[in-house]
Every structure is written in structure tokens, then in C-alpha cells.
Amino acid sequence: MKHGTERLRLLALDEAYELVRVLPTAAEEGGAAAQDADRLAREISARIPSKS
């Protein structure tokens, strides 16, 4: 992410879990957005508590 990029202040935890579940599927399918999907899934996973 570029330095100085504005960040979204709020994302519901359930929405974050859903993104972490969906983004790897997008990454596995390949295409132009695959690397971004993989990176975002890892970044979001690192910022949310583990789902127990």
C-alpha cells in the first residue's frame, strides 16, 4: 500500500471474516487481480482476531 493512502476506518468483523474466506478463492482462480486478492486476504487476516 502506498504511504499516505487513506484507510477505511470501519469494517464489520463479520465482513472481514467473509473477505478472508472469499479472497483466497479469487486468488486461486488467477487473472489480473489474483495477486491483489492474495495480498489483501493475508493483510486482513493479520489484523483480525482468529475466529473460534
pLDDT one-digit tens code per residue, 1-36: 566 777 767 888 999 999 999 999 989 988 888 999
Confidence at residue 31, expressed as pLDDT on a 0 to 100 scale: 87
Angle at 49 between CA 31 and CA 45, to 5 degrees: 15
Among 15, 12, 40, 13, CA closest to 26: 40
The pTM assigned to this predicted structure is: 0.71
CA–CA distances in Å: residue 30 to residues 13, 27, 37, 40:
26, 6, 9, 14
Which pLDDT score, from 0 to 100, does residue 52 have? 72
Determine contact, residues 4/38, Cβ cutoff 8 Å.
no
Give the number of other Cβ atoms within 10 Å of residue 38's Cβ.
15
pLDDT of residue 9: 73
pLDDT at 34: 92
